[in-house]
Amino acid sequence: SSPDSDGCTPELEKAGLLNKTKIAEGGRKLRKNWSPSWVVLVGNSLVFFKDPKSQTPSSWKPGNSRPESSVDLRGAQLQWANELSSKKNVFKLRTVTGNEFLLQSETDSLIREWYNTIQNVIDRLDRE
Ligand code: I3S
């Protein structure tokens, strides 16, 4: 049987390296601090890992390393936000709790994939 035949382990949807900065916490604006982050979309959450070098898609397992933070995508909002940065390919993710993140990649196709995949999860949760 498959490793998740009991359905208890959330499905890993996507993982990869993006530039990330948090710009608000609970609605309060924060100073930008861009840094590379290993981003994992699993189940209803976007999970951020600090050390990208120790993470690869094939080595990622739940409990393998401690996430820096994690975002519940239920009720979250996604929008392109190139006006919020001098960088290209930037989108903003806002959680129901008023935390806001900018995510960015130099690679157009990659950032579009991330945008679409996250939006699909948000849409799925909206329908539940
Ligand atoms: O939107 P801002 O404030 O111009 O964002 C830039 C600053 O946060 C800057 O940091 P300091 O002001 O602490 O030096 C960052 O280094 C830049 O990366 C920020 O702008 P971009 O356009 O890269 O998002």
ipTM: 0.89
Q: Ligand 1 pocket: which of 32, 85, 86 to mutate (most atoms <8 Å of CB)?
A: 32
Atom of ligand 1 nearest to the CA of 34: 18
Q: Which atom of ligand 1 is nearest to the CA of 33?
A: 8
pLDDT band at 4 (very low <50, low <70, confident <90, very high): low
Note the pLDDT of residue 59: 56
Ligand 1 center to 32 CA (angstroms): 6
Contacts of 91 (CB under 8 A, 6+ apart): 78, 79, 80, 81, 102, 103, 104, 111, 114, 115
Pocket of ligand 1 (CB under 6 A): 32, 34, 85-87
pLDDT single digits (tens) 54-95: 555 655 555 556 788 999 999 999 999 999 999 999 999 999
Q: How far is it, in rounded angstroms, from Cα 50 to Cα 127?
A: 32
Residue 103 contacts residue 85 (beta carbons within 8 Å): no
Coil, helix or strand at residue 29? strand
Average pLDDT value over all residues in the chain: 88
- Predicted confidence at residue 8, as pLDDT, reads 66
pLDDT at 1: 43
For residue 26, what pLDDT band results from cuts at 50, 70 and 90? very high
Angle at 4 between CA 78 and CA 124, to 5 degrees: 25
Instruction: Please count the residues of the chain.
Output: 128
**Are the beta carbons of 24 and 84 closer than 8 angstroms?**
no
Q: Pick the residue with more confidence: 12 or 110?
A: 110
Contact 16, 113 (CB under 8 A): no
What phi, psi does 15 have (nearest 5°)?
Answer: -150, 145
* Residue type for position 26: G
